[in-house]
């Protein structure tokens, strides 16, 4: 049994390195639609246009997210070439940096053992595994917020260098998602000072210097928005002219969504993130909720240092902000997974013997449900490497229950980590490669690169060909009507990607040549009929690559 051969701390260290190593497999998955492929395309256009200040989609000005994730991906493209690997690499590296800061913060305030457990919990949370492959802004955001909190915490006692570092990372977070991210960064400290009667901290010059530094560090973002939008009120954005990029950045992009007054609207559900956390934070979500309840008890609070208020408050106000927002998406919750991990780890290190036995039963049930679910998907989907998928699930189950025995916290941690390693191996090696074959834009773009490298790619009457944008050669043109099509016909090597319903229209007007047909399914919204190999053809749509003679 591993726990007999290795000390508890050493065992946790090994698991952390294995989790990191298996996470790197996600770098070799393709980019996923819609958001991942959209963001990768924007970064690609930076390189093609040699313009680092203006963001474009479909040849038009794009205003939604701040620039930093696109700059990082574009810098990676510059170094390694335009590829899915290069797009994902900065996100993974910065996420690991954030994990290091999470470890340091927890170790400083508690102990090394708790820090190791916190690190394992964060690295193995389900939505962290998903975000490694389906790269969006939240992985960057969680890392930068954690780094800012760490340095500002140090700045309470130590030198000005931590104010500078904290403000730099806070500014990076702002340039990833918007000004609202200062709430999880500073909110915990403000509530901590209020509850511990330290409101005089507000008067200390260093915190006002911190705010000033953040404003200085975000000037590249403000400059970019100003020259693309505020200097050009004649541009049409969101269907109207006179749109201010600076106003959108400071208000509409986040607080406008919260109050549902901005150009991008949604419908809120107060319970959305309560049930989202149940699956997104697997296999630790039940323990997390138990930890939240336990932390409300006076007995539990008395044994924790007062600095835990910073973590608790940061998580709580951000969770409430998300819950009351009118615009909600599951991946938002990833931003406060570091705080969730600390809360869960602190509960585990002080859990009673009765609690250990209870949660071992809960964990075993979750473990077996996940393994049976993945096994069912394997059987129903008919993976090409069917045997390897089954082998991964068997090894995961056997290693968890044979190597790690006994009713202890270490068993709970080890089995949870092993389950996540098995899920990662299943997703990155088999599941994602299999379902992404039905991402027709990606397949069409790769086919063009392999067979017609000099083609001028275009899309006819379809708005969401983001993976085609990324994988096709150069910058893809979008043809919205017959006039656009007539102009495109005159260009040499024009190759058009179009939806099946438009094919008959094009046949009625032109002499076309079909180069290849591609199967399509919205792979981020999987349903039973797609998973079942027998019924899959009935739910597939089709896209075509054509030329007009």
pLDDT tens for 144-202 read 999 999 999 999 887 889 999 999 999 999 999 888 899 999 999 999 999 888 888 88
d(CA 532, CA 380): 5
Find tokens 């599951």 and name the residue: 330
Measure the CA angle with vertex 367, ends 364 and 371; round to 5°: 140
- Please tell me the distance from the alpha carbon of residue 500 to that of residue 504, in angstroms, as a whole number: 8
**Interatomic CA distance for residues 487 and 493, integer angstroms:** 13
pLDDT tens, 112-126? 999 999 999 999 999
More confident residue, 484 or 340: 340
Residue 502 has pLDDT above 80, yes or no: yes
pLDDT at residue 247 is higher than 80 = yes
- Which residues, including other chains, have CB under 8 Å from residue 279's CB and lie 6 or more apart? 126, 285
Overall average pLDDT of the 125-150 stretch: 94
Residue 224 has pLDDT above 70, yes or no: yes
Query: Can you tell me the mean pLDDT for 466-488?
Result: 90
Sheet of strand 494-499, all strands in order from the earlier edge strand to the far edge: 477-479, 456-460, 494-499, 541-548, 512-520
Query: Any idea which residue has 């397949």 for tokens?
Result: 443
pLDDT band at 227 (very low <50, low <70, confident <90, very high): very high
Residue 203 contacts by C-beta under 8 Å, 6 or more apart in sequence? none
List strand residue ranges (DSSP E) for 404-525, in order: 456-460, 477-479, 494-499, 512-520
Q: How confident is the model at residue 237 (pLDDT cuts 50, 70, 90)?
A: confident
193-204 pLDDT, tens digit each: 998 888 888 888
Q: What is the pLDDT of residue 3?
A: 41
Q: Is the pLDDT of residue 226 over 90?
A: yes
The pLDDT-based confidence of 306 (bands split at 50, 70, 90) is confident
As a whole number, mean pLDDT of residues 259-284 equals 77
What's the pLDDT score for residue 331?
79
Residue 132: pLDDT above 90?
yes
What confidence score (pLDDT) does residue 406 get?
Answer: 84
* Phi and psi angles of residue 6, each rounded to the nearest 5 degrees, phi first: -120, 145
Mean pLDDT for the stretch of residues 414-443: 94
Residue 265 has pLDDT above 70, yes or no: no
* 204-208, 235-239, 276-280, 290-294: the lowest-pLDDT one: 235-239
For the chain, the average pLDDT equals 90
Q: Which region among 148-162, 166-180, 237-251, 429-443 has the lowest average model confidence (pLDDT)?
A: 237-251
Per-residue pLDDT at 425 exceeds 90: yes
Tell me the percentage of the chain whose pLDDT exceeds 70: 95
């Amino acid at each position: 049994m591993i726990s007999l051969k290795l000390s508890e701390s050493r065992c946790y260290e090994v698991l952390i390195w294995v989790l990191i190593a298996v996470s790197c497999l996600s770098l070799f998955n393709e980019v996923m639609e819609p958001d991942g492929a959209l963001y990768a395309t924007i970064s690609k256009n930076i390189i093609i246009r040699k313009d680092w200040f203006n963001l474009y989609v479909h040849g038009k000005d794009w205003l939604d997210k701040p620039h930093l994730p696109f700059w990082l991906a574009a810098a990676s493209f510059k170094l390694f070439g335009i590829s899915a690997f290069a797009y994902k690499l900065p996100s993974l590296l910065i996420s690991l940096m954030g994990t290091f800061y999470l470890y340091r913060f927890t170790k400083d305030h508690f102990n090394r053992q708790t820090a190791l457990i916190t690190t394992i919990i964060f690295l193995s949370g389900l939505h962290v595994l998903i975000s490694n492959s389906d790269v969006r802004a939240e992985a960057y955001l969680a890392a930068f917020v954690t780094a800012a909190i760490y340095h500002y915490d140090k700045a309470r006692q130590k030198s000005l260098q931590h104010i500078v570092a904290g403000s730099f990372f806070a500014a990076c977070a702002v340039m990833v998602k918007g000004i609202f991210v200062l709430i999880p960064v500073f909110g915990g400290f403000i509530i901590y000072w209020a509850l511990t009667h330290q409101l005089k901290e507000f008067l200390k010059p260093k915190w006002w210097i911190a705010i000033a530094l953040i404003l200085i560090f975000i000037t590249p973002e403000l400059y970019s928005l100003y020259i693309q939008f505020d200097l050009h009120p004649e541009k049409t954005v969101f269907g109207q002219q006179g749109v201010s990029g600076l106003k959108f950045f400071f208000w509409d992009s986040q607080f406008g969504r919260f109050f549902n007054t901005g150009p991008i609207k949604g419908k809120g559900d107060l319970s959305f993130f309560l049930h989202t956390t149940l699956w997104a934070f697997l296999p630790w979500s039940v323990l997390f909720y138990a930890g939240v309840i336990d932390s409300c008890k006076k007995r539990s609070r008395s044994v924790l240092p007062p600095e835990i208020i910073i973590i608790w408050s940061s998580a709580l106000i951000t969770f409430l902000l998300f819950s009351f927002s009118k615009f909600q998406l599951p991946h938002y919750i990833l931003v406060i997974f570091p705080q969730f991990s600390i809360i869960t780890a602190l509960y585990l290190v002080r859990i009673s013997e009765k609690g250990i036995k209870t949660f071992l039963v809960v964990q075993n049930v979750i473990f077996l449900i996940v393994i049976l679910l993945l096994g069912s998907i394997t059987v129903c989907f008919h993976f090409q490497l069917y045997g390897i998928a089954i082998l991964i699930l068997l090894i995961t189950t056997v290693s968890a229950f044979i190597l790690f025995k006994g009713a202890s916290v270490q068993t709970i941690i080890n089995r949870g980590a092993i389950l996540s390693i098995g899920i990662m191996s299943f997703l990155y090696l088999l599941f994602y490669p299999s379902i992404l074959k039905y991402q027709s834009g990606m397949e069409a773009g790769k086919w063009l690169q392999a067979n017609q490298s000099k083609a001028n790619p275009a899309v006819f009457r379809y708005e969401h060909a983001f993976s085609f944008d990324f994988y096709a050669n150069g910058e893809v043109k979008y043809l919205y009507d017959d006039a656009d099509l007539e102009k495109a016909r005159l260009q040499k090597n024009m190759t058009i990607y179009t939806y099946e319903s438009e094919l008959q229209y094009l046949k009625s007007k032109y002499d076309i040549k079909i180069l290849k047909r591609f199967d399509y399914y919205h792979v981020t919204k999987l349903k039973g009929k797609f998973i079942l190999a027998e019924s899959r053809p009935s739910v597939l749509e089709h896209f075509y690559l054509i030329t007009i003679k």
